[in-house]
Chain A
Amino acid sequence: MKRQVLRAAVLVVSLALWEGAVRALRVPAFILPPPSQVLLALQRGAASNIYLPHLWVTLLETLLGFASGSLLAFLLGTGLAASRTAEYFFYPYIVMFQSMPKVALAPLIVVWFGLGLTSKVVSAALVAFFPLLVNTIAGLRSADEDRVNLMKSLAASELQIFWMLRLPSALPFIMAGLEVAMVFALVGAIVAEFVGAEAGLGMLIQSRNFSMDVAGEFAVLFILSLMGLLLNWGLVSIRRRVLFWDPSEKAGPLAGEIP
Chain B
Amino acid sequence: MAREVIAVRGVACEYATPRGNVPALEAIDLTVAEGEFVAVVGPSGCGKSTLLKILAGLLPTTRGEVRLRDVPVTGPRRDIGVVFQSPVLFPWRTVLDNVLLPVDVQRLGRAANLRRALDLLALVGLSGFEERYPWELSGGMQQRVAITRALIHNPAMLLMDEPFAALDAMTRESMNLELQRIWLERRETVLFITHSIPEAVFLADRVFVMTARPGRILEEVAVRIPRPRALEATAAAEFGALVQRIRGHFSPRAGS
User: Chain A interface (Cβ within 8 Å of chain B)?
Assistant: 144, 146-147, 149-156, 160, 164-165, 168, 245-247, 250, 258-259
Check if A154 sits within 8 Å of B76, measured CB to CB. yes
Are A149 and B90 in touch, CB under 8 angstroms?
no
Question: Considering residues A146, A153, A156, A246, which has the most beta carbons from chain B within 10 angstroms of its beta carbon?
Answer: A153
Contact (Cβ within 8 A) A164 B106: no
- Taking a contact as CB atoms under 8 Å apart, the answer to whether B76 and A153 are in contact is yes
Q: CA–CA, A165 to B93, complex, Å?
A: 11
- Whole-angstrom distance between the alpha carbons of A98 and B169 in the complex? 52
Which residues of B lie under 8 Å from residue A168 when comparing CB positions? 90, 92
- Please determine whether B88 and A147 come into contact, CB atoms closer than 8 angstroms: yes
Q: Is the CB of B76 within 8 A of A152?
A: yes
Alpha-carbon gap, A119 to B82, bound state (A): 55
**Is B86 touching A146 in the complex (CB atoms < 8 A)?**
yes
**Which of A144, A151, A165, A258 has a CB less than 8 Å from the CB of B136?**
A258
Additional A-B contacts beyond A149-B53, A152-B58 (11; CB < 8 A)? A144-B88, A149-B58, A150-B88, A154-B76, A155-B75, A155-B76, A155-B106, A168-B90, A245-B91, A247-B135, A258-B135
A147/B90 in contact, CB under 8 A: yes
B166, chain A: closest CB distance, angstroms:
12
Q: Known interface pairs A245-B133, A247-B135, A258-B136. Does A153 touch B92 (Cβ–Cβ under 8 Å)?
A: no
Residues of A within 8 A of B56 (CB): 153
Which residues does B use to contact A, with CB under 8 Å? 53, 56-58, 75-78, 80, 82, 84, 86, 88, 90-92, 101-102, 104-106, 133, 135-136, 153
Contact A245 B92 (CB under 8 A): yes
Verify A151–B92 contact, CB threshold 8 A. Answer: no
The minimal Cβ–Cβ distance linking A197 to chain B, given in whole angstroms, is: 43
Is the pair B58, A153 in contact by a Cβ cutoff of 8 Å?
Answer: yes
Q: How many A-B residue pairs have CB under 8 A?
A: 55
CB distance from A159 to the nearest CB of B (A): 11
The smallest C-beta distance from A250 to any residue of chain B, in angstroms, reads 8
Find the residue from B53, B77, B88, B153 having the highest chain A CB count within 10 A: B88
Partner of A155, one of B78, B91, B133, B135: B78
- By a CB distance below 8 angstroms, the chain B residues around A150 are 82, 84, 88
Q: Once the chains are docked, how many angstroms separate the CA of A110 from the CA of B82?
A: 58
Contact residue among B86, B104, B136 (Cβ-Cβ distance under 8 Å from A259): B136
Contacts known (A149-B58, A152-B58, A153-B58); A160 close to B105, Cβ less than 8 A? yes
A160 to B92, CA, bound (A): 16
What are 21 A-to-B residue pairs whose CB atoms are below 8 Å?
Answer: A144-B88, A146-B84, A146-B88, A150-B82, A150-B88, A151-B105, A152-B76, A153-B58, A153-B76, A153-B82, A154-B102, A155-B77, A155-B106, A156-B105, A164-B105, A168-B90, A168-B92, A245-B91, A245-B92, A245-B135, A258-B135
Min CB–CB distance B91 → chain A (angstroms) = 4
* B101→A154 contact, CB < 8 A: yes
B140: min CB distance to chain A, Å = 17
The answer to whether A154 touches B58, judged by C-beta atoms less than 8 angstroms apart, is no
B83 closest partner in A (C-beta): A150
**B106: chain A residues within 8 A (beta carbon):** 154-155
Q: How far does the alpha carbon of A86 sit from the alpha carbon of B227 in the complex, in Å?
A: 58
| A244 and B24 alpha carbons, distance in the complex (Å) | 42
**Residues in B whose Cβ lies below 8 Å from that of A247:** 135
Bound-state CA distance A78–B77 (Å) is 27
How many angstroms between the C-alpha atoms of A247 and B88 in the bound complex?
Answer: 15
Please report the C-alpha to C-alpha distance between residue A204 and residue B112 in the assembled complex, in whole angstroms.
63
Shortest distance between the CB of A98 and any CB in chain B (Å): 30
With the chains together, A147 CA to B93 CA distance in Å? 13
Q: How far is the CB of A258 from chain B (nearest CB, A)?
A: 7
Residues of A within 8 A of B102 (CB): 154
Whether A154 contacts B91 by the Cβ 8 Å rule is no
Least Cβ–Cβ distance between A239 and chain B, in angstroms: 13
Which 8 pairs show the lowest CB-CB distances between chains A and B? A245-B91, A155-B76, A245-B92, A153-B82, A156-B105, A154-B105, A146-B88, A153-B56
In the bound complex, how far is the Cα of B101 from the Cα of A147, in angstroms? 12
